[in-house]
Amino acid sequence: MNDVVIKKSKIGQFEKGVFANRDFRMGETVVTYKNLKPLAKEEFQKLPKREKKFTHMHWGVTYLYPSPARYVNHSEMPNTVQNLKKRCDVAVKDIKKGEEITTDAKKDDTPHSKEFSERVYAICKKIPRGKVTTYKIIAEKLNTKAYQAIGQALRKNSSAPFVPCHRVVSSTGDLHGFKGKKKGKALEEKKVLLEREGVKVENDKINLKKYLYRF
């Protein structure tokens, strides 16, 4: 017997939902989605419109959800919570047989979410003094190609220099920008911070062969 079944739903945007086919106790795994498929930008663009509805973004990567997980509807009072690391929905309370399974859509990790920014900051803090890294390298570490979102997260960084966003430069070694500015006092401030840490800046550019840090 399957633990869950797909049936018609009154709350689902697809007129379908996932329902408990037995009783679940709080803390039990209800729905698993271990075979989530990560999609490159080109793959996502080629998806049929009906399939795009079943995608979500986590850690800056877009995933296509399989059945039955794709039919779990969202609710402001969900009876499960997503465990993205283990790729499953876990009951947050006892669930009776026949009850619809719901989760919280606010957990999605979009490039503009607080969760995504916090991951960017955590990586940024690992850049040692006297070294720099690039937006592209941070993106690779996050397994994403959301380069612009990384820049936006660093621009909104309110914990500098504890989160040393001044140590992030372009892939060519250009200072690129600082505090949302491409030139002027902000860029000069970035240059001063780097030079204080021993990074030599010439013509607003850094020798990456000498100063680049890879995680």
Could you give the residue numbers annotated as active site? Answer: 165
C-alpha 162/C-alpha 160 separation (Å) is 5
Q: Around 66, how many Cα atoms within 13 Å sit in the side-chain half-sphere?
A: 10
**Cβ neighbours of residue 131 closer than 8 Å, sequence gap 6 or more:** 167, 199, 211, 212, 213
d(CA 101, CA 80): 7
Contact between residue 37 and residue 16 where contact means Cβ atoms under 8 Å apart:
no
Residue 5 and residue 2: Cα distance in Å, rounded?
A: 7
Q: Which two tokens stand for residue 36?
A: 């989530």
